[in-house]
């Protein structure tokens, strides 16, 4: 529904008149209670108007997206895809590799049902986890990266305040990035395992598959470097990125290159999530400071009396640092960082790298010399692997 100021102003005037009639029917009986009664009536009237406005907004917004189509040819944000990918992102936090590999975990339902895992990578040395698989309903390869566990998020956030641009991105003049985020993807076991799994998936399911890369928190930063790697070094064309609670990863020059090479990118930010505000953006030095790449989707909660009615998604401009979106508020909330669209993005235990795997996974698993774990499927499975085996071995607990 298109917003027409003159039309809606008439509607609100009519609602205002109705509210006066409805809320003023109860006349105070005692003169001394007139002022308090008027005050109560004013409060009730205000709540009544807010409730009506919320109802109208919910009907007018439809999918609760304020701006659905871009005016400059940019990719269009898809709300349904966002709530699908947040479920894939939540699943990567599962520590039971047997249930994750067979896609039978408690988070492996809903919009992700029927997903086929090709590879699970657990870099024990650096406490990283990711998986690659095929979503047939999306005709796409899904790559998901795990973020920082919730029990260590405070220390990680504190460290981000002091992180500096400290690495020149290869073959991109003036582009600088965060060395830690870059290294987590490029200088660990994650990159070769992910690229190998993508090639196997295309060989088994078809070369025409799209690629969707997602992640949360630090996993979101890794997802952006993975997508850029797939485009620049692997020659992939149909790569889409959707991340949740992503920190800044590079400077304005890097953001410019990235937006040209991976234009189909959306960074979802939940309300006052603290992490997307880090490392800090210094507006007085726009070329020397960290800078987000587009496109941000800012999800704010509409609530009355502390009851959340629904989230409103605003698709921001193409600068990456839209001052009317998340930068218009203070990023102070860790709880907003750990929940997106009502889905928890955190591990189920307080141990950071607590990995459990059943013995039935031995034929699919291997370890390298450093103890990193890989569960691999080379061809599409013809049947569901039985996972109801009581014996499960704890592989790593760091």
Burial (0-12, 13-18, 19+ Cβ within 10 Å), 213: buried
Buried b / exposed e over 187-211, threshold 16 CB at 10 Å, is ebbbbebbbbbbebbbeebeeebbb
* 111 class by beta-carbon count within 10 Å (0-12 exposed, 13-18 middle, 19+ buried): middle
Question: 252 near 217, Cβ under 8 Å?
Answer: no
CA dist 201 and 118 (Å) reads 7
Tell me the C-alpha distance between 268 and 246, whole Å: 8
| Residue carrying the six token digits 């870099």 | 123
What one-character DSSP code corresponds to residue 275?
A: G
CB atoms within 10 A of CB 283: 10
Rounded (10°) angle between helices 5-23 and 34-61 = 140
Instruction: Tell how many helices (H) and how many strands (E) occur in the chain.
Output: 9, 16
Give the length of the chain.
398
Q: What residues contact 231, with CB distance under 8 A and at least 6 apart?
A: 237, 239, 261, 262
Active site amino acids: 217, 273, 337
* Residue 251 bridge partners (DSSP): 290
Sign of CA dihedral 162, 166, 170, 174: positive
Three-class SS state of 309? strand
Inter-residue contact 156 to 227 (CB < 8 Å): no
Residue 3 neighbours by CB distance under 10 Å? 9
Number of C-alpha atoms within 13 angstroms, CB side, residue 117?
A: 25
């Amino acid at each position: 529904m298109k917003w027409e100021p003159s039309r809606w102003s008439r509607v609100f005037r009519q609602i205002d008149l109705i509210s006066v009639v409805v809320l003023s029917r109860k006349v105070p009986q005692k003169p001394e209670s007139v002022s308090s009664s008027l005050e109560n009536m004013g409060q009730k009237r205000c709540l009544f108007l807010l409730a009506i406005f919320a109802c109208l907004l919910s009907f007018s917004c439809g999918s609760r997206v304020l701006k659905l189509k871009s005016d400059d040819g940019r990719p269009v944000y898809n709300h349904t895809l966002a709530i699908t990918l947040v479920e894939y992102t939540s699943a990567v936090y599962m520590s039971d590799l047997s249930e994750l590999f067979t896609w039978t975990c408690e988070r492996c339902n809903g919009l992700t049902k029927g997903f086929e895992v090709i590879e699970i990578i657990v870099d024990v040395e650096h406490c990283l986890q990711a998986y690659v698989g095929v979503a047939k309903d999306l005709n796409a390869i899904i790559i998901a990266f795990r973020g920082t566990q919730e029990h260590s998020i405070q220390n990680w956030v504190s460290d981000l305040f002091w992180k500096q641009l400290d690495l020149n991105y290869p073959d991109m003049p003036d582009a600088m990035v965060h060395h830690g985020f870059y290294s987590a993807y490029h200088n660990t076991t994650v990159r070769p395992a992910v690229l190998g799994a993508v090639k196997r998936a295309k060989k088994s399911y078809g070369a025409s598959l799209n690629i969707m890369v997602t992640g949360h928190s630090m996993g979101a930063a890794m997802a952006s470097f993975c997508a850029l790697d797939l485009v620049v070094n692997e020659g992939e064309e149909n790569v889409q990125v959707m991340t949740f609670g992503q920190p800044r990863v590079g400077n304005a020059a890097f953001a410019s290159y990235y937006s040209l090479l991976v234009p189909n990118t959306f960074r979802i930010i939940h309300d006052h999530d603290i992490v997307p505000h880090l490392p800090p953006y210094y507006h007085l030095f726009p070329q020397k400071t960290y800078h987000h790449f587009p496109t941000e989707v800012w999800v704010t909660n509409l609530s009355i009396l502390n009851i959340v009615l629904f989230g409103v998604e605003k698709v921001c401009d193409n600068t990456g640092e839209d001052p009317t979106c998340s930068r218009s508020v203070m990023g102070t909330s860790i709880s907003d960082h750990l929940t997106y669209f009502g889905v928890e993005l955190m591990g189920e235990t307080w141990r950071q790298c607590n990995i459990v795997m059943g013995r039935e996974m031995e034929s699919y698993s291997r370890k390298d010399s450093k103890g990193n774990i890989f569960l691999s499927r080379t061809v599409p499975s013809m049947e569901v692997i039985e996972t109801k085996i009581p014996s499960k071995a704890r592989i790593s607990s760091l």
